[in-house]
Amino acid sequence: MPAQDDSLVDAAIRDERNALRRENTELHRENALLRQRIAVEMLQKATAIEHVNAVKHHENELEATTAGLRNEITKIYASSSWRITKPLRQLRQLLSRTGRPLFRKQVPEALSTDPPDNAAAQPTQPIGVFLHLYYEDLAGELAGYIGRVPDPKRVYVSTDTPEKAGHIRRVFTEAGLGEMTEIRVVPNRGFDIGPFLVGFGKEIQQHDIIVRLHGKKSTQLGEEAGTVWRRMLLDSLLGDATRVEAILAALRRRPDLGLVCPEHWDGLYALYESPIAIGSNLVRMAELLARYNVPLSAGTPIDFPSGSMFWCRRQALAPWLRFGFTWDSFETSGEEARDASLAHALERLFLFGCGLENLSWARADRLPTAPYIV
């Protein structure tokens, strides 16, 4: 019996050793596969890093090229030939069957940022400042920009809840804007356009000169890109006292100048194939223009003020105020409903309004030292 027991023990040990060997072999196989997978991933990572570096190098080359081109354009603007040919650039494009121009200047001229004389810059009546603030955390930033608008001025702020209105009131009061500011809680319809044309339609009629602002975040682009875009637009319109005075002087010296808007952010061209286009807004835009017998097709070249931010005279808004829009005219605000909405169509029609009123429009310089036309 003892010999038989020893035999059974030896057999059990052999079986266990064989099992361990098989397990060890399997572990070695899995380890080899893991090492192979890691090697592949490291190769992919190295390739990705190489691609990123190549892209960065290309971006640097593009930035250098852009800087050179802007310098050349600045030289062109300073040349005598540019001044001599100015009349040729003022030809109107006749697109409506009535013979009225769609735009007074299809290619707008950049405004000078030379400090105007005091008489031209002196306000004759309160400037109307219209701001929509869905994101109340931007109240401090916008109050800082609005503070650069010279007195006398009246400030009109729309938002969608009493809580937001209370916060905005506190911030604007601390910024010294409390007494001149009216804050209204309005329905969350029509994005920032409904609150402007419906919420403050009567107030627009009380001011000859208006600056229209928007607490724009562009959340679909991410926080950093949205902030860069918003501040680029605001700086273009209200960057400093010299810029504001130059825009106001241009509006007062030139009765035919209806609207001054920022240039388009360069980042749009990197994010979208055709950012300045009619897109899915054709039907709504055509319906609105039909009232004025202005034809529109998908191929019609257009332009518009990015972010719906601009300086203007009241007359430039008249074609859209005549519609008598109500809150029911506008869709409920929501990013998924922005395209093809009435608000988006109107945003792309603000410059058409200048043409309908026989007014011109212009771009505000982004860089006072290097003005250029977009």
Higher pLDDT, 344 or 44: 344
- Report CA Rg, the chain: 31
Strand partners, 157: 131, 183
Distance CA 162, CA 4 (A): 92
How confident is residue 323, by pLDDT bands cut at 50, 70 and 90? very high
Distance CA 127, CA 207 (A): 6
- Averaged over 262-274, what is the pLDDT? 73
How confident is residue 72, by pLDDT bands cut at 50, 70 and 90? low
Q: Is 214 helix (H, G, I), strand (E, B) or coil?
A: strand
- Averaged over 333-344, what is the pLDDT? 76
For residue 141, how many other CB atoms are within 10 A of its CB?
A: 16
Distance CA 254, CA 256 (A): 5
Residue 318 has pLDDT above 90, yes or no: yes
For the ranges 115-119, 153-157, 256-260, 334-338, which has the lowest average pLDDT? Answer: 115-119
What is residue 38's predicted lDDT score, i.e. its pLDDT? 77
What is residue 121's predicted lDDT score, i.e. its pLDDT? 46
Q: Are 253 and 114 in contact (CB under 8 A)?
A: no
Q: Is the domain defined by 103-363 classed in CATH 3.90.550?
A: yes
List the one residue out of 116, 114, 106 whose CA is nearest residue 373.
Answer: 106
Q: Are 127 and 209 in contact (CB under 8 A)?
A: yes
**169-224: pLDDT as tens digits:** 999 999 999 999 999 999 999 999 999 999 999 999 999 999 999 998 886 777 78
What is residue 53's predicted lDDT score, i.e. its pLDDT? 77
**18-42: pLDDT as tens digits:** 888 888 888 878 877 777 777 667 6
CA distances from 27 to 14, 17, 34 (A): 20, 15, 10
- In this structure, what token pair is assigned to residue 43? 């190769």
Q: Are strands 101-103 and 93-94 parallel, antiparallel or unpaired?
A: antiparallel
* Average pLDDT value over all residues in the chain: 80
How confident is residue 349, by pLDDT bands cut at 50, 70 and 90? very high
Q: Is the pTM higher than 0.85? A: no
- Averaged over 156-161, what is the pLDDT? 98
**95-126: pLDDT as tens digits:** 232 333 343 443 445 555 455 555 444 556 89
Q: Are 356 and 322 in contact (CB under 8 A)?
A: no
Residue ranges per structural domain of the chain:
1-84, 103-363
- Averaged over 128-157, what is the pLDDT? 97
What is residue 86's predicted lDDT score, i.e. its pLDDT? 42
Residue 11 has pLDDT above 90, yes or no: no
For the ranges 188-202, 235-249, 331-345, which has the lowest average pLDDT? Answer: 331-345
Establish whether the linkage from the previous residue to 115 is cis, with ω within 30° of 0. Answer: no
